[in-house]
Structure 1
Amino acid sequence: MKAQILQLQKNKQIQQKSNQILAAAAAAAGIKTGSSSAALAQGRTLNKTNTGTSDLSPAAASRKVTQICEICDASCRDRDNYRVHLQSKHNQLKGKTATDMAQGAPLACSRCRERFWTYEGLERHLLMSHYLVTSDLLAKAQSKTDGCRCKLCGK
């Protein structure tokens, strides 16, 4: 029991450090994130989907926001590049167009309602944010087909 508690504490520390690194990277890149930088520095999770308001239309605003890949944390300069990244690097969203992307991420976390484009991104979020392991991820780990994902940080 103590080992599990220590592991959960360690996972939370890793997540907080990761959030601090993301906030520092965003600040270094000159990305205006408003209160999200402060939230990241304090260890709170930043929602990866663009839900803020803007003077631009929703479709135009979403294309202007830097996108962070929910699978590998790569930074893409806009939603169109993110779609291409998911298609080419992760073999995800095949056949999806910019119009499909404008509709928003289809998968939602059942705990916090954060939205994701891929099942792998949702699995990673569940592991990192809520310390939940899906049956699919467990089966992949047991059969050693989980892509050698780190058990501590989910990367």
Structure 2
Amino acid sequence: MTRYTFACPMRWSDMDAYGHVNNVRFLTYLEEARVEMFVALHREQQARAATGTSEDAALLEGGVLVARHEITYKAPLVHRTAPVPIDVWVRTIGGASFELGYSVHDDEGSTVYATATSTLVAYDFRSARPRRLLDYERAYLERYLEA
């Protein structure tokens, strides 16, 4: 099982009046983890471009849109100075869409603060239409696919 792990920095402003991270901030945390995962794909594409074996980095430049989020809050998360680990993995891959799973947890993994899923659609902004996932995008996503 391979997961992409992002160390999410916390900001004091993420806290709400009850002294824990506000529920909407969790979606920002998930976005940061997802974007960093896509940036890793972009870096790979740049490295391949240097060798002349690359296509466009479509997940970043061609586009991907969030179609749906679902989140379950499991435990309060209070501010801490250390980044919060967020695991990201691929749950399903379709022709033009894929679903990511997330786990926001403590450093040991013993406390899970939230679990979530996001459905994303590959998108062509020029034609304003969904598009098919490209072979290299699918190959990248398959590295993080969990049954």
- Normalised by the length of structure 2, the TM-score is 0.28
Greater strand fraction, Structure 1 or Structure 2: 2
Greater helix fraction, Structure 1 or Structure 2: 1
- Normalised by the length of structure 1, the TM-score is 0.27
